[in-house]
Structure 1
Amino acid sequence: MYDPHPRPPLGDRLFGASPRPRVPMDDVPHTRTWMSWPSRKSVWGRQLRGVQEDIALIARTIARYEPVVMCAPDDYSVEEARLACGPSVYVIGSIPTDDLWMRDIAPVFRRDGRGGLQAIGLNFNGWGRKQVHTDDAYVAENLARLNGLPFIRTDFVGEGGGIETDGDGTVMATESSLVNKNRNRGWSRDDVEAAVLDAYGADKMIWVPGIKGKDITDDHIDVTSRFVRPGLVLVQLPPDGRGDVWARDAREQFDILSAQTDARGRRLEVIRVEGPDTVRSRRSDFVDSYLNFHVVNGAVIAAQFGDGYKDAAARQTLAAAFPGRDVVQLDVDRLMAGGGGIHCSTMQEPVP
C-alpha cells in the first residue's frame, strides 16, 4: 500500500545529519521550465516550421502556469521565437542550442539538502553520436553558469529523458539507452547503475531491457513508463492487436515493473494507460505516447491524437493520478513525428 508519509533513510535522521543531495520528482514546485527553440533546417528539413509551431504552443500553454525560458541560438532565432511564443515566454540568446530536446541537453537539477540547487550534467553526446551536438553538448554547463548554480559532471553518459526518479530513492531506466557502447563503452550494467544512483541520490535502480537502435534515443523510458509518486507508476500499453517491437517492449516493461519493489520495500502499484487505436500521423516513427507529459505548477501538459475515446480515457487517468492539477491535452503531432514529445522538449527547474 502506498505510504503518503514515507520516512527518510535512517542515515538522514541520525544525529541531525543533512539529507544527501537528491534529484526530486517532476511534480515538486517549479521555479520555471526551460525549453529550446528549433532552428536548424539541417535537422528538421521541411518539418521545421510545423515543429516550431508545436513548440510555441507548448511554451505558451506552460506559461499559463509557470515561467518559461526559451533558449534560441542566434539573434534571428530569438526574434522568431518571440514572435511565435508571444510575451508570456521569455526568450534568450545566451545559451546556443542545436535542437529542441531540452530534457536531454539541459542539466538535471538536484537539491543539495541544504536549501540549494546543483546542476548535474550527463555528458550529452547526441544520443550516441547520432546527431550534431556541437552546442547541445554545452547547454547543461552554460545553463548552470547563467543560473549561478554549482555544476557537477557525471562519470556516465546519458540523457534526462532516459532516467525516471520517484524522488524517494528509486530510479528506473532502459538498459538499451545506458548500457550501450555508444554512450558508456566498456561499462557493465553495475558500473552504470552505481554512477546513476550516485548522481541522483538514489538507493535502488530498476532496469527494463528496452530496444537498441530502433530510434535515436535507444528507447528512453519516459515514453512508456513514468513515476507518478513513490510507489505508483503509469505504463502505456498498446492495443491488443499490436505485436511490433514497441508493443512487446511496453508489455515487458509492464510485467517487470508490476513485480518490483522500490527502495523503501513498497510493491509498485502499476496503472495501465491504453495507447490510442488510431492517430492522425502516417509517420512510422510517430511517438503516440500519452505518458510523455510535462508536470507543471497546477497542471499536466500531455498530448492527444484525435482518438476521442482513448484521449478521454488518458485524460481521466492523468487527472486521477495528479489530483488538483488541470490536465491540458495538445495536438503536437508534428513534434511527435520527430521522435519525441512534450516531456522530451522541456526541463523543469525545481524550487530549491
Structure 2
Amino acid sequence: MKSLYVLPFFVTLCYSGVEISGPTALFTEENAADKKPVQVLYTMPEEGMPHEGTWLQWPHQYQYGEAYRDRLDDAWIEMTHALSDGEKVHLIVYDEEEEERVREMLAEDKISLKNIDFKIYKTDDVWVRDNGPIYAKDNKGNLVIEDWGFNGWGKKAEFENCDEIPERIANDQHKKYLDLNEVMINEGGAVEIDGNGTMMATKSAILNKNRNPGMSQAKAQEIFTRYYGVTNFIWLEGKAGLEITDMHIDGFARFGDKNTIVTMSPDDLLEWQVPQNDINKLYQSTNKNKKKYNFVKLPLTSENVTTAYGKKLDYPGSYVNYYIANNVVLVPNYKDRNDAVANAIIQKLYPNREVVGIDVRNLYANGGMIHCVTQQQPR
C-alpha cells in the first residue's frame, strides 16, 4: 500500500460575497441560539475559473540536499513550460543564486520568460497548495489574499518559512491581506469546492488535534462559510495518521465542475485506504440543491510506481491530483500504461483545454503530485 508524504531519509511532503438569508442560511451550534445566519464575507473562485497566473515553489537544496532538488527540477521545468503559454507563472525561488540557476535551466530548454516572474522568498519545501495564498473575492469582486494557518501538517515537517509566503505575496502585490492564522489551520489540499456553494473535505485533515484541537464541525463550517462562501458540506471521516497530510481530499476526490466529482472506483478507493463508510458517503453526496453528482472514475496506475532513478515504491499512483489552468490541465503521469487511459478521460472532461502529462514519479516518492505543488491566482 501507499505511504504518501513519508520519505525514507527525510520528511516532506500537498462570487462576490453576500449575506445568506432565507432557506439557504447556514446556522451552527454556536449561533443557533440567536438564529443569526453566518455572513458570507468572501468567496473563493473555483480552480477552473480564469487565472491571472499560477504559483510554484521551486525545489532547492537547502532543506533536503541537492539530490532532492535535482530529481525534481525536470517536473518544474515541464510545468512552467506548459503553463506559461496561457497565464503568468510566478516562481518562488529560495535566493538569488537559485534564481540564476532556474533561469539558466529555462533558457537551456528555450522557454520564454515573457510570462514568468521570480519572487525570492525562503521556503521549506515545494507544497505551495498547502502553504500558499488562498485568493478569494470580497462582496465588490476585489481579490484578497487569505493567509490560513499552516503548521507543517500537524508539526510533522519544517514550516516556518513556508508559513510566511501568503503575507509576503500580499505585501508585494499590495492586495488586501486577511490574517487567519489564529482562526484555523487549513491547508489548500484539504479542501475542494465546486464553485456552486459546496465544499468537500476529510475531518482527519482539518478537525484533528494536531491542527485545530477542540474545534467542532459546526465551528469549522461557520468559518468556511464566512471565508470561502460555501454553505453545503460533504464531510468524509478520512484516516488520521495514514500519511503526513492525514488524508487530504485532493488525492482521491475532486470536483470536475459544479455537477461532477472526479474520483476512483470503490475498489480503487479501498486500495487508497479510504474507509468504506466514506466511499458510501462520497457516492451518495449531493450538491446544495440536493441533486446527486455525476461521477467520473479515474484508474490507479496499473503497477506500483518506480521513480526515474530506480526506487521502487510500494503503492500505485493517483491521477485525481491534477491541476486546471487556463489552457491546459496538468495531469500526473508515471510512465505507466494507465497514463493514456487517465489522460483521455480527463481530456473528455475538459475539451477546451489541452491535457499535458507531467512525469511526477520522483515527486511522488516524496509524497505528492501536481495539485499539491500548484496554486492558482484568479483573474
TM-score by length of 2: 0.82
Amino acid at match of 2:299: E
User: What amino acid is aligned across from residue 298 of structure 1 in structure 2?
Assistant: N
Aligned to 1:191, the other structure's residue is in SS state helix
Runs of 4 or more, structure 1, over 6 Å off, are none
Structure 2 residue 351 is the aligned partner of structure 1 residue 323: yes
**Corresponding residue SS for 2:160:** coil
Q: 1:294 aligns with which of 312, 315, 323?
A: 323
The answer to whether structure 1 residue 170 and structure 2 residue 191 are counterparts is no
Corresponding position of 2:35: none
- Do structure 1's residue 206 and structure 2's residue 231 form an aligned pair? no
Find 1:273's aligned residue among 298, 313, 324. Answer: 298
Alignment partner, residue 207 of structure 2: 179
Letter of the aligned partner of 2:156 in structure 1?
K
Is 1:51 matched up with 2:80?
A: no
Q: What are the superposed Cα offsets for residues 246-284 of structure 1, whole Å, 9 maximum, x if unpaired?
A: 2444x6544212211112222122222111111334554
Change (3 A) 1:75 1:299: same
User: CA separation of 1:263/1:130 partners in 2, compared to 1, >3 Å: closer, same or farther?
Assistant: same
Question: Over aligned residue pairs, what C-alpha RMSD do you find?
Answer: 2.5
Tell me, yes or no, if structure 1 residue 81 matches structure 2 residue 102.
yes
Contact 1:285 1:338 in 2 (8 A): no
Distance 1:252 1:51, change over 3 A: farther
- Stretch deviating more after TM superposition (218-227 or 182-191): 182-191
Output aligned runs, 1:1-352, within 5 Å: 21-43=42-64, 46-86=67-107, 87-88=112-113, 90-154=116-180, 155-237=183-265, 244=271, 246-249=272-275, 252-278=277-303, 279-281=305-307, 282-284=311-313, 288-308=317-337, 310-351=338-379
Taking the aligned partners of 2:75 and 2:85, their CA distance within structure 1 comes to: 16
Assess if the C-alpha contact under 8 Å between 1:237 and 1:247 holds in 2.
no
Distance, in Å, in 1 between the alignment partners of 2:190 and 2:52 is 23
User: 2 CA distance for matches of 1:113 and 1:268?
Assistant: 28
Structure 1 residue 65 displacement after superposition: 2.2
User: How much has 1:319 moved relative to structure 2?
Assistant: 1.4
Q: For residues 93 and 149 of structure 1, what CA distance do their matches in structure 2 show?
A: 16
Hey, what's the Cα distance between the residues in 1 that align with 2:356 and 2:255? 19
Alpha carbons 1:126, 1:133 under 8 Å: kept: yes
* CA distance in structure 2 between the partners assigned to 1:60 and 1:33 by the alignment: 12
Q: Which moved more, 1:162-171 or 1:213-222?
A: 213-222
Aligned equivalents of 1:252, 1:44: Cα separation in 2: 41
Q: Which has the higher helix share?
A: 1
Measure, in 2, the Cα distance between the counterparts of 1:289 and 1:225. 10
User: Which runs of 5 or more structure 1 residues have no equivalent in the other structure?
Assistant: 1-7, 13-18
Cα offsets for 1:72-131 (capped at 9, x unmatched)? 121111112222234436342443222111111111111223231011111111111111
Q: Report how many residues are paired.
A: 335
Unpaired stretches in structure 2, ≥5 consecutive residues? 1-17, 23-39
CA offsets, 1:139-168, max 9 Å, x none?
Answer: 011111111111112311010111001111
Q: Which residue type is aligned with residue 53 of structure 2?
A: R
| Greater relative contact order, per chain length (Cα 8 Å cut-off, separation 6+) | 2
Judging changes above 3 Å, is the alpha-carbon distance between structure 1 residues 23 and 285 closer, same or farther for their aligned structure 2 residues? farther
Percent of aligned pairs with the same amino acid: 28
- Greater shift, 54-63 or 280-289, is seen at 280-289
Name whichever of 49-58 and 137-146 sits farther off.
49-58
**Which amino acid in 2 is paired with 1:168?**
N
Match of 1:5 in 2: none
The answer on whether the counterparts of 1:55 and 1:335 sit within 8 Å (CA) in structure 2 is no
Per-residue CA deviations over 1:212-253 (Å, capped at 9, x if unaligned) read 11222111111110001112100124866x965x2444x654
For residues 314 and 76 of structure 1, the distance between their equivalents in structure 2, rounded to whole angstroms, comes to: 38
Deviation at 1:9, TM superposition (A): 9.3
In structure 2, what residue type is equivalent to 1:271?
Answer: V
Within 1, Cα distance between the matches of 2:265 and 2:65?
29
Indicate how the Cα distance of structure 1 residues 181 and 10 shifts in structure 2: closer, same or farther if over 3 A, else same.
closer
SS in 1 for 2:335: coil
TM-score, with length taken from structure 1: 0.88
SS of 2:184's partner is: coil
Q: Secondary structure at the match of 1:349?
A: strand
